[in-house]
Structure 1
Amino acid sequence: MSPTAQVFLVPGFFGFQTIAGLPYFTGVKQLLRDRLAELGVAARVHALDTLPTASIESRARYLGERIGAIVPADGSPIHLVGHSTGGLDARVLLSPGSLPELDDLRARVRSLTTVSTPHQGTPLADYLVRVEGQKLLRLFALLSVQGLRLAGRPVASAMSLGRLVTRIDELIMLRESALDRVYALLADPLSTERVRPIEQFFTAMRADQSLLHQLRPEAMSGFDQRVRGNPGVRYASALTRARPPRLRGTVELGMNPIAQVSHLLYQGLYRLCATQDPDSFGAPSDSQREALERIYGKVPDTRANDGLVPTRSQIHGAVIHVARADHHDVIGYFDDRQHDPPHMDWVATGCGFRHPDFARLWGDVARFMAGWGETTTTS
């Protein structure tokens, strides 16, 4: 009997395994395990944490240590799945010659699938190192608890909603004063116990923000030369492209204040991510171009993004899936309250991503791990 495969889910930028009781990957572990079992692969799926905004090299070392402490010493194969910057951490871990103390562990890795990973950086990183960007991060952390834990429960009055959207342009432009006002308003209904983990988490993030500087497109320009592929590992990527924001999207959200706020922030983030210099993107290989044209109909425009990362920046290895989704939809934070268990949106983008799309994405990841070819579908 073949040893049980060990699958590790590596989180991205925020780097938590759980925060205030919320998992980073929601619904992914069970779905991936079930899909692998259907393909005849017995697997144990682990969700990891990491260092929130430390350097990619520090995060990669921490990743190796965490895997080494968990994986059984039976020679079982290891498969890695990295969401967002977690994919970069895994690439550094697997690069020959890096972290020599992890050579034995690296030799057991069979595949790496990156999901929504900024292989060529993101212009959002330039913004996040500024004061406004720091406050946006803090607000995003609050939205994760406020919007997901309390989804469907009124947390602000109609008058409060009016205060949130009176100056729509301020939120879309991600101005510091608007971010402060929104944070104060949304934090007000929460108990100290709910807010404290957010503040503690943000304090930890401020202690080391090397990652933000590394993710700038200019800094990532030489990443592929510095971080070599491992010939013993199969590489694949799943891409995300969100719905471009429209005024109609704001109207569709109705009077839900959390959704209204997050959609206005999304409009600003989408526009910001669409500004990356087209020359900073490498040209897709022939096989990548063929896959993109077969799935999407064309190679995505350089302005296309998922609200945090340009779609063209996410291409690496075999393109096995292209999802019409935002950055967090693919880790289980999408709006599908009719499903059991229900799924709640992290950011209201109006992409229409639902559980069948979620299942197709992770089914393709499982097929790639199992060696069933380079499946290419879209959700």
Structure 2
Amino acid sequence: MTTTSSPCPRVHVILVPGFAGFDALGQLEYYAGVTPLAREWQANGPPAPPLVLHYFDNLPTASVATRAARLRQYLAKRLARGTLQPGDAVALVGHSTGGLDIRKLLFDLEAEARYPGAHVAVDGNRDDALRVPPGDLLALVKRVVFLSVPQRGTNIADWLRAHAPSLPRRLAIDEARGSVLAARLSPVNDLQELAARWLGGALRSDLFLAMGDAVAEIDAGAVRGDPARIADAHEAASELQLYLTHIASDFGAIEDLAASPALEPTSPAHFADDVREAERRAWGARGIRTRSYATVGRRPYAFEPGEDVAPWKLRSPSSAPLARLVEGARGRMDAPYLSGYRACAGGPFQIPAGAPAVATVFGTGERRPIEAWDSDGIVNTASMLWPEGEETRLVDGDHGDVIGHYHLVEARDGGPRRYHTYDLLRSDSGFTAATFREVWRDVFAFCASAAEDVAPGAAA
């Protein structure tokens, strides 16, 4: 494929969501508040090349290999169509599983680039499809940002694999899909929405408020007489139905996120150390620089430093989420955070011999020790300390904070959805709007530095 160089080189920042992720479901955005922050940084920050934001809508729970293949197709289409051009630079930003998707993408592209004639076919039939060489995609990627990525897996995936067998999970998903379909055919049962909102208040959990909003937003009957909002409701219902269908058809990410090693590792979380070192060498040879941010939630349990915490077993009261809580934790933290933290605390994940157990606190430079049982409520924090090791930027916050879901913010006026963002895990970790701003300003500056690595007039 022959293309011309971009007359005005840009840095394309591609935001890749994590497990159960999406671009947007109705007004609910995965990366909430990032666009206005990017515009603010561009307007008021130091001189920098234009940043172009792309929100990648990945499959929510598919295997990492499938998600990486989808990301490869996405990039190839944008290069073939001229959105990405030689002379531009690409910065891939992955949150949680999204970071593993990026590693798998780069790993696969490197393997394919060794074969002459290898290509990604897009936009066309068997005879006239555009053929994008994997080397052309690799040449564009200059920066990779890892946000709360389970580089060595996370115990919560092992816990879910053991306690959420496929049949009950499928039944629950089928029930949810049926509810969405029923809501499209008739007015939503007010009791469904009220129950979700009541649970949100009773359990102090914004997760249930989000569920209530999802029910309300697909109710076309609530906006009767307004064709535009009726269309929005139908679109939100279609997005939610498709989202649930994807989850029902492929839940392979749980295996790829487990901390226990796989027999045949296809997920970067399970790569051996020599393969990881080969990844780093390949990135260096390509001029790809990385930056990692690790999130660590407030400790709700009275675990001791170095303690080998027992896994949470449903039939063992002494391992339950309400056992061994520190004073005041139950009042400050919600049930989803306590449950997620406890599931992460015990399990197969251990800090590997020779791997760092210290990270650098973002903004202060302080070195802080990390325990194997530390987490952000979803991912063991020590699992995030790769490839930067002790230089990983440590942020006090839970798994949802860093993507903008750290506080409750009202939705746009006039619609049935009450809130735009939520404090999805109430961890009492001290994450604020100022923290969010500073982290993302740091991300934008790192991504913008990619322009320094692109030679003027570069062409394929």
Is 1:303 matched with 2:315? no
Secondary structure of residue in 2 paired with 1:119: coil
- Residue 33 to residue 64, structure 1, CA distance change in 2 (3 Å): farther
Q: How far off its partner does 1:122 sit?
A: 0.5
- Residue 157 to residue 7, structure 1, CA distance change in 2 (3 Å): closer
Structure 2 residue aligned with 1:275: 346
Select which of 221, 225, 242 maps to 2:270.
221
Q: Quick one: which amino acid aligns to residue 295 of structure 2?
A: T
Is 1:361 matched with 2:439? yes
Secondary structure of residue in 2 paired with 1:90: helix
Structure 1 residue aligned with 2:360: 291
Structure 1 residue aligned with 2:52: 44
Unaligned runs of 5+ in 2: 1-6, 114-118, 120-133, 177-192, 220-235, 263-268, 301-325, 413-418, 451-460
- Residue 271 to residue 105, structure 1, CA distance change in 2 (3 Å): same
Q: How far off its partner does 1:323 sit?
A: 1.2
Structure 1 residue aligned with 2:131: none
Structure 2 residue aligned with 1:125: 157
CA distance in 2, matches of 1:32, 1:334: 18
Q: How far off its partner does 1:155 sit?
A: 3.8
Q: How far off its partner does 1:192 sit?
A: 8.9
Select which of 31, 44, 66 maps to 2:37.
31
CA distance in 2, matches of 1:271, 1:48: 31
Q: How far off its partner does 1:224 sit?
A: 5.1
Secondary structure of residue in 1 paired with 2:110: coil
CA distance in 1, matches of 2:200, 2:37: 40
Q: Quick one: which amino acid aligns to residue 269 of structure 1?
A: G
Matched pairs, number: 332
Structure 2 residue aligned with 1:325: 397
CA distance in 2, matches of 1:77, 1:83: 20
Select which of 103, 127, 130 maps to 2:135.
103
Computed over aligned residues only, the root mean square deviation of the Cα atoms, in angstroms, reads 3.9
- Say if 1:321 and 1:364, in contact at 8 Å, map to a contact too: no
CA distance in 2, matches of 1:82, 1:162: 29
Deviations 1:116-143 (A, max 9, x none): 000000111122335637778979xx9x
- Say if 2:386 and 2:392, in contact at 8 Å, map to a contact too: no
Select which of 243, 262, 270 maps to 2:298.
243
Q: How far off its partner does 1:17 sit?
A: 0.8
State the TM-score, normalized to the length of structure 1.
0.74
Structure 2 residue aligned with 1:75: 87
Secondary structure of residue in 1 paired with 2:293: strand
- Say if 1:36 and 1:370, in contact at 8 Å, map to a contact too: no
CA distance in 1, matches of 2:64, 2:155: 17
* Same amino acid, percent of matched pairs: 28
Q: How far off its partner does 1:209 sit?
A: 1.8
Deviations 1:311-355 (A, max 9, x none): 1111123345321111011100011659x9985312222223111
- Say if 2:13 and 2:447, in contact at 8 Å, map to a contact too: no
Comparing 294-303 with 207-216, greater Cα deviation is found at: 294-303
- Residue 300 to residue 51, structure 1, CA distance change in 2 (3 Å): same
- Say if 1:236 and 1:316, in contact at 8 Å, map to a contact too: no
- Say if 1:17 and 1:47, in contact at 8 Å, map to a contact too: yes
Structure 1 residue aligned with 2:101: 89
Secondary structure of residue in 2 paired with 1:7: strand
Secondary structure of residue in 2 paired with 1:110: strand
Q: How far off its partner does 1:93 sit?
A: 1.6
Q: Quick one: which amino acid aligns to residue 345 of structure 1?
A: D
Deviations 1:243-276 (A, max 9, x none): 12356244347xxxxxxxxx11221110111114
Q: How far off its partner does 1:226 sit?
A: 4.0
- Residue 106 to residue 21, structure 1, CA distance change in 2 (3 Å): same
Is 1:266 matched with 2:337? yes
Q: How far off its partner does 1:51 sit?
A: 1.6
Structure 2 residue aligned with 1:115: 147
- Say if 1:124 and 1:273, in contact at 8 Å, map to a contact too: yes
Q: Quick one: which amino acid aligns to residue 18 of structure 1?
A: A
Secondary structure of residue in 2 paired with 1:239: strand
- Residue 267 to residue 156, structure 1, CA distance change in 2 (3 Å): same
- Say if 1:273 and 1:303, in contact at 8 Å, map to a contact too: yes
Structure 2 residue aligned with 1:55: 63
- Residue 36 to residue 103, structure 1, CA distance change in 2 (3 Å): farther
Q: Quick one: which amino acid aligns to residue 56 of structure 1?
A: V
- Residue 55 to residue 188, structure 1, CA distance change in 2 (3 Å): closer
- Say if 1:120 and 1:280, in contact at 8 Å, map to a contact too: no
Q: Quick one: which amino acid aligns to residue 26 of structure 1?
A: A
Structure 2 residue aligned with 1:193: 218
Q: Quick one: which amino acid aligns to residue 16 of structure 1?
A: F
Comparing 240-249 with 111-120, greater Cα deviation is found at: 240-249
- Say if 2:358 and 2:367, in contact at 8 Å, map to a contact too: no
- Say if 1:55 and 1:209, in contact at 8 Å, map to a contact too: yes
Q: How far off its partner does 1:90 sit?
A: 0.8
Select which of 290, 294, 315 maps to 2:385.
315
CA distance in 1, matches of 2:387, 2:201: 46
- Residue 161 to residue 192, structure 1, CA distance change in 2 (3 Å): closer
Comparing 47-56 with 219-228, greater Cα deviation is found at: 219-228
- Say if 1:7 and 1:81, in contact at 8 Å, map to a contact too: yes
CA distance in 2, matches of 1:279, 1:162: 34
Secondary structure of residue in 2 paired with 1:9: strand
CA distance in 1, matches of 2:328, 2:104: 42
- Residue 7 to residue 17, structure 1, CA distance change in 2 (3 Å): same
Q: Quick one: which amino acid aligns to residue 234 of structure 1?
A: R
- Residue 191 to residue 15, structure 1, CA distance change in 2 (3 Å): closer
State the TM-score, normalized to the length of structure 2.
0.62
